[in-house]
Amino acid sequence: MIKRLIGLWKYINEKEEKNFRRDLKNIIGTYPVNLKYYKIAFIHKSASYIDHEGKVVNNERLEFLGDAILGAVVGDYLFQHFPEASEGFLTQARSKLVNRKILSSLAYKIGINQFIITHIKKFKVNKHIPGNALEAFIGAVYLDLGYNITKQFIITRLFYKNVDILQVIKSENNYKSRILEWAQHSNVDVTFNTEQIDNHVPARFKSEIFLNDQLFGQGTGGSKKEAEQEAARQAFNKIDNGHLPAQKSYNPSANHSTSN
């Protein structure tokens, strides 16, 4: 009886793995080799567990790797397809293509949201979990199948099938205006410190953005506008990820002098 139960359990596991492998093949375009990477890629940190070696298992390390690979692949694509574009254009274009909103949308479109394991109730409310899992999935594909197949998956199956790349790149992303508008509604002080960082031609500029006197982003570019846009983009992404500046300190004497 025990042997029959063990055999049945093994059959169920083998059937589930076969289905999992088939689903991954439909997503990636080729069969995976090592399922271990993909299983880890879908474990959100809220569902972390300790393995037999005493190590914490979740997808955060794969997310870090996938983020780097995704940035490299998209950067290479933009570099090849926009040979006359400036560094500032390429940087903004890449940020538009790999932002959390698009990544989370792509996670749903290719169906990996169904594999995510999390202990957060109603995880759909947390719009970053699917996008983070997609980055971890990219890290898994890279470790399992190598850079070339990962690149093909990202460009051909992820973006070409689901995103109008040119439309996204051309979309308006005036981060400085968005930051200033948000700050006005949130009663947050915004300061840009922008300066030329060398005397070369063409000139290079560096900008820092402070929210309530806290450094929230830094950017460089071939113009003050480019540098400030990049700094504002970094600040906006931090805010979008829930990292908010501390409230302004209350100074009674300053407030009193202003009211006079």
**Structural domains in the chain plus CATH codes:** 2-170 (1.10.1520.10), 175-240 (3.30.160.20)
Q: Round to whole Å and give the CA distance between 52 and 22.
A: 28
Q: Which of 63, 67, 144, 230 is catalytic?
A: 67
Contact 209, 237 (CB under 8 A): no
Per-residue pLDDT of the chain (260 residues; tens, 9 = 90+): 444 444 434 444 777 888 999 999 999 999 999 999 999 999 998 889 898 888 899 999 999 999 999 999 999 999 999 998 888 788 888 988 998 889 999 999 999 999 999 887 655 546 688 999 999 999 999 999 999 999 999 999 999 999 998 888 877 667 888 899 889 988 999 999 999 987 766 678 899 999 999 999 999 887 888 889 889 989 988 888 788 888 876 554 444 333 33
Is 67 an active-site residue? yes
3-state secondary structure of 207: strand
Question: Any bridge partners for residue 190, and if so which?
Answer: 211
| Token pair belonging to 83 | 């040979």
The CA angle 121-65-110, to the nearest 5 degrees, is 55
Q: Cα dist. 37→63, 75, 131, 145 in Å? A: 11, 25, 17, 11
Number of other residues whose CB lies within 10 A of the CB of residue 215:
15
| Token pair belonging to 74 | 């998209």
Q: Round to whole Å and give the CA distance between 72 and 53.
A: 33
Q: Round to whole Å and give the CA distance between 79 and 102.
A: 20
3-state secondary structure of 148: helix
Q: Phi first, then psi: what are they for 151, rounded to 5°?
A: -60, -45
Q: Round to whole Å and give the CA distance between 186 and 99.
A: 23
Q: Cα dist. 127→13, 101, 195, 207, 230 in Å? A: 31, 8, 36, 29, 23
Structure-token match 């300066």, residue found: 195
Q: What is the pLDDT of residue 53?
A: 86
Q: Which of 51, 60, 87, 135 is catalytic?
A: 135
pTM: predicted TM-score of the whole model, two decimal places: 0.67
Q: What is the pLDDT of residue 9?
A: 44
Q: Phi first, then psi: what are they for 207, rounded to 5°?
A: -130, 140
